[in-house]
Amino acid sequence: MSSPVFSFLETDDLSQQEIEGLFAQAKTIKNDFLKHRSFSKTNFSQHSLLLSLLFFEPSTRTRSSFEMAALRMGWQTTFFDGASKEGSSLIKGESFEDTFWTLHAMGPNILVVRCGDELRLTELRKKTQIPLINAGYGTHSHPTQALLDVFTMQESFSDLTNKNILFVGDVRHSRVAHSHFKFLSTLGAHVGVVGPQSFLQGISSSHKSFTQLSEALPWADVVVGLRVQFERHENSNQFSRDEYIKNYQLSLEKAKFLKPSALVFHPGPVNWGLEFDPSVRELPHFKMWQQKQNGVYVRAALLDLVARKNGY
């Protein structure tokens, strides 16, 4: 009987020790890259896997960072664009699930999947013979974003115990926030949320909830701005852009409430002028480009770990 396949669908698929090892490896990869502008092959367990990316929702950061990580590791990649249906047999009515199994049948070593509720990743993981990596699953989870965010937070605060992490805005529709909520509690951090009531529906009452950004910002060690996800809103008439900007947009004026040591994150893409005023880019607190850069190193370390855990 073949051994079970290890897939990475949520941060709790890895032990705390494995995550510490992954972050240590990502740090080594980063330091080497900053010195030599290349990945050292000695940082990885082997060299010649085929990574297949299967994306049913659009992506810039996650897709590109997985591809760059894999190529710099000496792997090969394929990309299936299931988000713009025109170029594939999705336009002929083929289902997402048949598309998944078609790519699966071709035998890549690892499948990186981004999808909405059309696929049930937790069910597929039980049937697949190929390791899966969750690259963003509907509103449910985006664990590699949570990993790279925590890695970036730890570059400033080595220990997140008792640190206050504030999520601002469209928390309800944010898969990033949902992955963070689980992960941050295991690290001893405190989670806070602030945003319009309709964006906080269904969010656990165990998190600290604020009504005013001016009251929440002084509490926060890390502020995570979240994209307003218009494409997931059932009723777009309920949203007032002016009210949102007045109450929840981070601007230079509101940034005066930040602690001097506070970090400002955003998973991207940003709706500039809505979640953040463009001037936020100039703040010393603003770490979004560091998040993007670290995405490559953390995803490289994850690919290597998933490969090793599957005996490649």
In the complex, least distance from residue 112 CB atom to ligand CP, rounded to whole angstroms: 11
The Cα–Cα gap between 133 and 121 comes to 10
Per-residue interface string for the shown chain with ligand CP, residues 161-200, x marking contact by CB under 6 A: ----------------------------------------
In the complex, least distance from residue 59 CB atom to ligand CP, rounded to whole angstroms: 3
In the complex, least distance from residue 269 CB atom to ligand CP, rounded to whole angstroms: 6
Q: Under the criterion CB under 6 A, does residue 59 sit at the interface with ligand CP? A: yes
Q: Under the criterion CB under 6 A, does residue 40 sit at the interface with ligand CP? A: no
**For residues 77 and 53, is the Cβ–Cβ distance under 8 A?**
yes
- DSSP assignment of 208-257, as one string? EEES-HHHHGGG-SEEEE----GGG-S-GGG--HHHHHHHH-B-HHHHTT
Q: Under the criterion CB under 6 A, does residue 268 sit at the interface with ligand CP? A: yes
**Alpha helix positions (H), the chain:** 16-36, 61-72, 96-105, 121-127, 143-156, 175-186, 197-200, 213-216, 241-248, 252-255, 288-309
In the complex, least distance from residue 69 CB atom to ligand CP, rounded to whole angstroms: 13
Q: Which is nearer to ligand CP, 61 or 208 (CB)?
A: 61
Piece of 31-39, 56-64, 177-185, 205-213 that binds ligand CP (CB under 6 A) = 56-64
In the complex, least distance from residue 130 CB atom to ligand CP, rounded to whole angstroms: 22
- DSSP assignment of 40-74, as one string? -GGGSS-S--EEEEEESS--SHHHHHHHHHHHHTT
Q: Which is nearer to ligand CP, 195 or 267 (CB)?
A: 267
Q: Among 108, 131, 136, 169, which residue interacts with ligand CP (rule: CB under 6 A)?
A: 136
Q: Which is nearer to ligand CP, 5 or 132 (CB)?
A: 132
Burial 265-294 (b: 16+ CB within 10 A, else e): bbbbebbeebbbbeebeeeebbbbebbbbb
In the complex, least distance from residue 267 CB atom to ligand CP, rounded to whole angstroms: 4
**For residues 285 and 260, is the Cβ–Cβ distance under 8 A?**
no
Piece of 8-16, 45-53, 58-66, 82-90 that binds ligand CP (CB under 6 A) = 58-66
In the complex, least distance from residue 96 CB atom to ligand CP, rounded to whole angstroms: 18
Burial 90-104 (b: 16+ CB within 10 A, else e): beeeeebeebbeebb
Q: Among 43, 145, 271, 294, which residue interacts with ligand CP (rule: CB under 6 A)?
A: 145
Nearest to 300 by CA among 33, 88, 3: 33
Q: Which is nearer to ligand CP, 21 or 268 (CB)?
A: 268
Q: Among 27, 61, 140, 233, which residue interacts with ligand CP (rule: CB under 6 A)?
A: 61
The Cα–Cα gap between 64 and 66 comes to 6
In the complex, least distance from residue 231 CB atom to ligand CP, rounded to whole angstroms: 12
Q: Among 25, 43, 62, 294, which residue interacts with ligand CP (rule: CB under 6 A)?
A: 62
Give the CA angle between residues 251, 242, 181 to the nearest 5°.
60
In the complex, least distance from residue 2 CB atom to ligand CP, rounded to whole angstroms: 32
Nearest to 256 by CA among 227, 280, 229, 288: 280
Q: Which two tokens stand for residue 309?
A: 């855990």
Q: Which of residues 208-267 bind ligand CP (CB under 6 A)?
A: 267
| Binding residues vs ligand CP (CB under 6 A) | 59-62, 136, 145, 267-269
